[in-house]
Every structure is written in C-alpha cells, then in structure tokens.
Amino acid sequence: MHLRVFLLSFNCGIISVMVANNAGLPATPEDLINVDDVIGKYYDAVPDSAVAAQRVIFGTSGHRGSSLKTSFNEAHIVAITQAIAEHRKAAGISGPLYIGRDTHALSLPAWKTAVEVLVANGVRVRIDANDDFTPTPTISQAILTHNRAADGTQRFNGADIADGIVVTPSHNPPTDGGFKYDPPTGGPAPEETTNAIATRANELLDGYRSVKRIPFEQAVKSELVESFDYREHYVSDLANVIDFDLIRSSGVRLGIDPLGGASVHYWPLMNEKYGLDIGVINPETDPTWRFMTIDHDGKIRIDPSSPYAMKGLVDRLNAGAWDKYDLVGGTDPDADRHGIVCPGTGVMNPNHYIAVCVEYLFSGNRPGWPEGAGIGKTLVSSSLIDRVAASIGAKLVEVPVGFKWFVDPLFSGEVAFGGEESSGMSFLRKNGRVWTTDKDGLIPDLLAAEITAKTGKNPSQLHEEQVQRFGESWYKRVDTPTTLEQKQKFAGLSGDAVTASTLAGEDITAKLTEAPGNHAKIGGLKVTTKDNWFAARPSGTENIYKVYAESFVSPEALDTVLDEATQVVDTALEG
C-alpha cells in the first residue's frame, strides 16, 4: 500500500488567558488583509529612528514587524542588509549567501530589496532556481552542506564559507514581515551578532536612501546572482535523516497540509524520489490566508500548534477524511514548525510529541548517533520529557527559550535532538552528523510516519502509553500585564528573590535563573517541585510577562501553581 500524506498544523498545550469570540471560526472578508495596501506601505511609509517602535529590533528570530505600523518597510531591509554585508566582510565570510523567502505578502518585496543591496556590496547570492518559496530549514541545510569539510566536519571560517538570510515572520499574521540572518553555523545568529547588526542598521535607517543599491532587474542578472535548486538539494538529502524504505513498505497513510506555506512543492518531489504517495491537502498559497480559521486572539495566525488556527482542518478530518489517512502533519509559512494530528485526539500537544520522538529516536532506532549524545529541551518544555529521558538513560540538556541555544550542541554532538515547546525541533542525520541547526518542520511530520510504521501505533497512542508509565500532566501558559521597569527587573532576579518554600503544597526543590544545561541566563525564573513547576520570563515585544506551568498532580493543582507563581513573581519584582 502506498503512503498517503496530508500536511497540517495546530497549537496545543499552550493556553493564553484571553480567547476571542471568533477564535476557531472561519476567516471573514473583514479579517483579510488588503495585499496591495500592505505592499504599498512597504515602499511608501518611512520609519523614524527616533520612534522606538519603528527601529530595527532583533528578537530570538530576527527583525519582525508590519509595513502598516512602519516597523517593516523598505528602509528597514535596506539598512539591515547593508549591516549584514558589512558584518560578513568584517568576519571574513567570502562564500555565497543563501537567501530564501516564505509566502507572506511582504516577503517577496523584502527579498528583492535584499538582493539589490547584496549585489551592490559585491556579495555572491544564491537564489532559488525555480523562483519558488524556500522553507527555513532548507537554508540551514544548504549552508551546512556548503560549509562541510572533506572529512564530514563543519567549517566555520576560511575560504568560501557561506551564510544566509531567510525572509519570513514565521507563523505571524499576514500583515507581518520578518528578516533573519543565519551565520556560517546555519542557525539563528547569536545575540552578540544580532545586536551588532541591529545597532548598525539603526545608524543607517534614517539615511537609508544613501545606501548603494542596484535595481532588481539588473541585479538579478548579475554574475553575482547564482541559481540554486533548494528543493532538489534538500529532498535528495532527506534519506539521510528519515527511513523512507520503512514508510514506503508499511502502508501508513499520512496526510500533509502546508497551510499555504513554503513547503507546498516539496512533498510532491518526495513522492517522486522515494516512491511515496503523499497527499497534499491544500496546495493553495494565498497571502491573505482566507482559508484559515481564526487563532485564539482574534487574528489569522498560521500556527501549526494552535487548535484554534487548525480547527477547520480538524473538522474536515472528523467529517470523513480520516477514512483516507492514518495521521496528518502540518507546517507553518516558512516550514520551521510542525503539527501532528491523530484520529480521535486532534492536534497533539507539541510537548507530548517531543516526548514520543525522543523515546523512539533514543531507543535503538538511530544506531549511528554519537554515544552519550543528549536530548535538548527548552526549560519551559514539559517535564514529561525529563521522565522519558531518565527512563531510557539519556542525558538531558535544558537550555533557555530560543532555538539558537541548540546550535552549538547539535554541532558538537552534545545533543542529537533539540526540541522546544512551541513545536520546533531538529535532530541529527542517521550517521550522527548535523542536519540543520534551525527548526525543521518537515522532518517531524515524516518522523511521525516512520514511528507509526515501525511501532504499529500512531504518536498519540504512544503518548497514552507514556502517560500510563510516567503520569498525566497538565500544562498552561498565562500572559500577565507588567511595566517596562518590571520587565527590566527580570534580568536581575536571583533565587533569593523567591521567599516561598512550597509550591502547590510541595517543597520547592530548585529556584533557577540559569538553565541547567548550559548555565546561560534564562532572563527570568524557574521554580520546581517534585511534581510541579513554573517558569516566568518577560516578552521581548510586549509589556507582559509569560508564566509557563505544569503539574503532574491534577488540573486543579495546575491552577494553584499558576496562582502562586503570579504571587511569587509579583513579590519578587516589587522587592
């Protein structure tokens, strides 16, 4: 029987405080962007560097904003690209720059602007040979394979070293644009690099018209612009990560919904190369995303882990499509996030799927992985992962929030898998070498089919077995309004700021302001007990702080953890 693949995406387990009345309902004409207006303001609106909200700000994954708010406009991209060109010259990066874009309305204009500035700076630029959308992980994989030495190790300096740019705001609403730089390590740039790029970009912002550019139609014909088949390069390499023979011979029927994103043309090529029958549910790309249901906050958000954003797809499956598929996977617009949907249970909590993946991967199914390689998780991911790791004797490496913390451990083999609560993950090739150092939303969907083929059970069924062995847990995230002054206090918090000795009736076992896995500052606080924990950290873009919490006791205990966590944090911030 052939594999039937159908791709989708959902947000489970992370629960916001406010849920809009239209959450989960189909988008209406009033919810859709005016594409011409969004693109027009990209060129016409000019930011003012004296206005904080209009400056270049690099978060955990680059600069993001909206042309409608004068926070993502031509001036920003000119300034950022020039700053990147200067950075790579100072760093001695002389190889090609791999650049790609997703399906957001602002991505193509920003991509063109970047090419104009890069060529004017004499940078070799590699663009997609098919004039296609480019998933984030394909940029990472292209950089890493380019920089691989003859002995299979990675090069970070020397002749012809490559880096890259991805033009994407990830799963953010259709109004938004995003622009991020990947250094030769292939993943999100470290803070010292992004800070330097942002500082220089803001110096250039008001005078962006003086930055040298070459008109796009002229630039794209330059000998500096080289065609590169990202799709062929990535898909041909996938057999070194996923067991396609097992999937093909098993008869597992998998479905895929690209959610109008950049992975849409990658699945048919997998069918062709590996003899699969992957059924793409909705091959449409539309920058308004009119086919989505509304997310929790009343916006269109293409989040593969949101039950609200994915309700329309689940409803279709429950209305009869499950007769064709055994499980469904999904990706977001730049395909760096995944979602897994199983019959009868809906979208899996990303934490639960991570726990299933690590138990499968570290239980003899990747014999070529380095001995002693650990499991990487963010400190706000479920402690179910900790319990699974302990049961199979695997080392756990807990890092702060942000996939950038997995870059070095994946390179060194300290971890063979890195996963975060927001449905992002990557893992090593079968031979133990690095695959990507950025999130890859395609391989988790394919791994779900491999797991089902090998075990005869879908990931949701395997999670239920884990619950029987390790206990059921309840997990939430709550956003609390705060002031800028209080947000700044998070950086100075220490364990001593927590005066409580118990949490939800259990003795506190740890008060952390550094991640146990790498001793990096977490920018907040994590408090643990035997069966409960919470972590609090400020938002990088809003005047709120986020409290993540989990309880292995009961839903009521989780509510108690959240209530007490808010009291603990408020007391600490007032001290």
- Residue 156 sits in a domain of what CATH number? 3.40.120.10
Give the total number of structural domains in the chain.
Answer: 3
Domain holding 173, by residue range, is: 33-230
Backbone angles phi, psi at 450, to 5 degrees: -65, -45
**Is 137 in the same domain as 161?**
yes
Supply the DSSP string of 389-433, one letter for each residue: HHHTT--EEEE-SSGGGGHHHHHHTSEEEEEETTTEEEE--TTS-
List residues bridging with 179 in a β-sheet.
63
Residue 462 is assigned to a structural domain of this protein: yes
Residue 268 is assigned to a structural domain of this protein: yes
Alpha helix stretches (DSSP H) within 68-215: 74-90, 107-120, 136-146, 191-205
Residue 164 is assigned to a structural domain of this protein: yes
**Is 355 in the same domain as 420?**
yes
Residue 177 is assigned to a structural domain of this protein: yes
**Is 296 in the same domain as 282?**
yes
* Residue-level pLDDT at 543: 73
**Is 478 in the same domain as 570?**
yes
Mean pLDDT is lowest, of 170-184, 202-216, 235-249, 492-506, for 492-506
Q: Is the pLDDT of residue 362 over 50?
A: yes
- CA 344/CA 460 separation, integer angstroms: 9
* Catalytic residue flag (residue 170): yes
Q: Is the pLDDT of residue 6 over 70?
A: no
Residue 289 is assigned to a structural domain of this protein: yes
pLDDT in tens, 154-179: 888 778 999 999 999 999 999 999 99
- Given 434, 469, 504, the domain boundary residue is 469
Quote the pTM value.
0.94
Position with higher pLDDT, 487 vs 332: 332
Q: Is the pLDDT of residue 126 over 80?
A: yes
**Is 457 in the same domain as 489?**
no
**Is 502 in the same domain as 457?**
no
Q: Which of 16, 66, 107, 170 is catalytic?
A: 170
What SS3 class is residue 6?
coil
**Is 226 in the same domain as 369?**
no
For residue 49, give the DSSP letter.
T
**Is 456 in the same domain as 508?**
no
- Highest mean pLDDT: which of 139-153, 168-182, 496-510? 168-182
Helices (H) and strands (E) in the chain, counts: 17, 23
Residue 21 is assigned to a structural domain of this protein: no
pLDDT in tens, 460-485: 999 999 999 999 999 998 888 888 78
CATH, residue 506: 3.30.310.50
Residue 429 is assigned to a structural domain of this protein: yes
* Residue-level pLDDT at 174: 98
**Is 457 in the same domain as 543?**
no
Which of the four pLDDT bands, split at 50, 70 and 90, describes residue 541?
A: low
User: Residues 6 or more apart from 296 whose CB is under 8 A from it?
Assistant: 11, 16, 18, 19, 20, 23, 306, 308
